[in-house]
Amino acid sequence: MRLLNALHGPADDAYAVTVAGETLSRHELLGRAAALAAELGGVPMAAVHAAPGMPAVVAVTAGLLAGVPVVPVPPDAGEVERAHVLRDSGAAVVLSDDPAAAGESGLPVVPVSRTGHGTVPGEPAAETPALVLYTSGTTGPPKGVVLSRAAIAADLDALAGAWQWTGGDTLVHGLPLYHVHGLVLGVLGALRTGSRLVHTGRPTPEAYAGARGSLYFGVPTVWSRICADPGAARALRGARLLVSGSAALPVPVFDDLVALTGQAPVERYGMTETLITVSARADGDRRPGHVGVPLDGVRTRLVGDTGEPVPADGASIGHLQVRGATMFDGYLRPDGSAEAPLTDGWYATGDVATIGPDGWHRIVGRASTDLIKTGGYRVGAGEVEDALLLHPAVREAAVVGTPHPDLGEQVTAFVVADGRPAAGELIAFVAGKLAAHKRPRAVHLVAELPRNAMGKVQKSRLR
């Protein structure tokens, strides 16, 4: 089966993709991509200027048709970041209609928009690398994550089963085209399942409300803004599924979506290295603060600090490890090879979680920033953040551990609030909701929280 098998349907079928107002049928998209793919013969790696528009979708599709690994480059990348990605990946060309897309790298820029059609190449081997996505770690420059065609296909098929995602759906989102969420799920997913795709350019409440889709993707920031616009939220009542990912969805936002749209959102968990591995089901429970159960073909487990098993009792926090067909091939090496850092086939995600007896997962957060070891207790930052968000004055909250001479770490909160509630008031409020050792010992009121392009709070900057 072809990775993008839905592209090869009848020429007269419904449109495949609308991006920022431009629409192409499956036949038109396949023709444009095949024409570009014909020029990529012998190219070892192709970078794509991943601005939110049809050229990026055509360029990625062309690379996949040609069997050439694609490296999406964020359109707002600074010169240092762009230079690192282009140099480290070994990209030989940049696919873009913008002549300046290669920056100062000196790489040739190959125009994407063109007339004519090309011959569709044969399907590359399943183990062929499809994408190299750059992800930032805790130290050093971003690393290239190598994802095979087989891993992407396995993940999209598992998600299609879990979400009952079919060619009858219309998928709507406005997420960046250089991450797993917006590109792999949000574009390649539609081209594999055959669903229509409406990419709104930007994920605004107005754009989502006007798209009239059956399936919507968003990050917590998007859903929070939609809930702040009740008219836009109510316009989504006709949707079949609202999916949230890329960061934890605050429980108050979950509850607001239920009240305004009439349905609970589906949450899922994954990362660039593993793709999506855990999710709620379309026909199953939706539990606030939880991300569901492993997808078909995926296994998970919890281990302690020294590798000992942690019980799946719904309360014990452990380091989450995963294995399965959706795993990456590894981080790109200078010689172009890659090898995944596995232990007996298991990948250490760097996240801490609980797993209930029924298999439901709750992600506590990153072990490095969201697991706070204070006075002999292990406190999950997300639980404290959810408690703070229940206070009527609190709009946003981020909790980290900061050094403490007696406790080792103390629970410290950064809060965006209406008015200026006293720190003591917020501390007492959390103490009334959670165990006493989970209350913040310090609260800082801030104008805003630092976030990345996907809406994740950058807690390292708070520290």
Q: Which fold has domain 371-462?
A: GMP Synthetase; Chain A, domain 3 (3.30.300)
Contact 201, 20 (CB under 8 A): yes
Closest to 383 measured CA to CA, from 429, 433, 312, 349: 433
Give the range among 13-17, 104-108, 291-295, 350-354 with minimum mean pLDDT.
13-17
pLDDT at 194: 93
Give the range among 276-280, 380-384, 385-389, 451-455 with minimum mean pLDDT.
451-455
Higher pLDDT, 375 or 199: 199
Here the tokens at position 412 are 């410290």
pLDDT in tens, 149-195: 999 999 999 999 999 999 999 999 999 999 999 999 999 999 999 99
pLDDT at 51 over 70: yes
Region 14-26 average pLDDT: 87
Region 436-460 average pLDDT: 86
> What does the alpha-carbon distance between residue 257 and residue 108 come to, in Å, rounded to a whole number?
47
pLDDT at 13: 57
Here the tokens at position 181 are 């969420």
Q: Is residue 202 very low, low, confident or very high in pLDDT (cuts 50, 70, 90)?
A: very high
Q: Which helix (H) or strand (E) holds 187?
A: none
Q: How do 215-218 and 170-173 pair as beta strands?
A: parallel
Give the phi and the psi of residue 59 in degrees, each rounded to 5. -65, -45
pLDDT at 270 over 60: yes
Q: Is residue 276 very low, low, confident or very high in pLDDT (cuts 50, 70, 90)?
A: very high
Q: How do 266-271 and 241-244 pair as beta strands?
A: parallel
Region 79-94 average pLDDT: 92
Contact 388, 430 (CB under 8 A): yes
Give the range among 5-9, 260-264, 305-309 with minimum mean pLDDT.
5-9
Region 223-227 average pLDDT: 94
pLDDT in tens, 61-72: 999 999 999 999
Higher pLDDT, 451 or 98: 98
Q: How do 215-218 and 241-244 pair as beta strands?
A: parallel
pLDDT at 364: 87
pLDDT at 116: 67
Residue spans in the chain of domains classed CATH 3.40.50.12780:
1-366
Q: Which fold has domain 1-366?
A: Rossmann fold (3.40.50)
pLDDT at 139 over 80: no
pLDDT at 171: 98
For residues 306-343, one letter each, b for 16 or more C-beta atoms within 10 angstroms of the residue's C-beta and e for the rest, the string is eeeebebeeeebbbbbbbbbbbbbbbbeeeeebeeeee
pLDDT at 454: 66
Here the tokens at position 17 are 């993709």
**CB proximity list for 345: less than 8 A, separation 6 or greater:** 323
Give the range among 64-73, 90-99, 448-457 with minimum mean pLDDT.
448-457
- 370 by DSSP, 3-state: which? coil
> What does the alpha-carbon distance between residue 196 and residue 387 come to, in Å, rounded to a whole number?
39
Region 136-157 average pLDDT: 87
Distances in whole angstroms, Cα of residue 441 to Cα of each of 246, 384, 412, 437? 29, 12, 6, 9
> What does the alpha-carbon distance between residue 385 and residue 366 come to, in Å, rounded to a whole number?
14
Q: Is residue 341 very low, low, confident or very high in pLDDT (cuts 50, 70, 90)?
A: confident
**DSSP sequence for 118-136:** -PPPPPPPTTSEEEEEEE-
For the whole model, what pTM was predicted?
Answer: 0.86
Contact 56, 177 (CB under 8 A): yes
pLDDT at 147: 97
Q: Is residue 356 very low, low, confident or very high in pLDDT (cuts 50, 70, 90)?
A: very high
Here the tokens at position 241 are 């599924």
Give the phi and the psi of residue 153 in degrees, each rounded to 5. -60, -45
Q: For all residues of the chain together, what is the average pLDDT? A: 91
Residue spans in the chain of domains classed CATH 3.30.300.30:
371-462
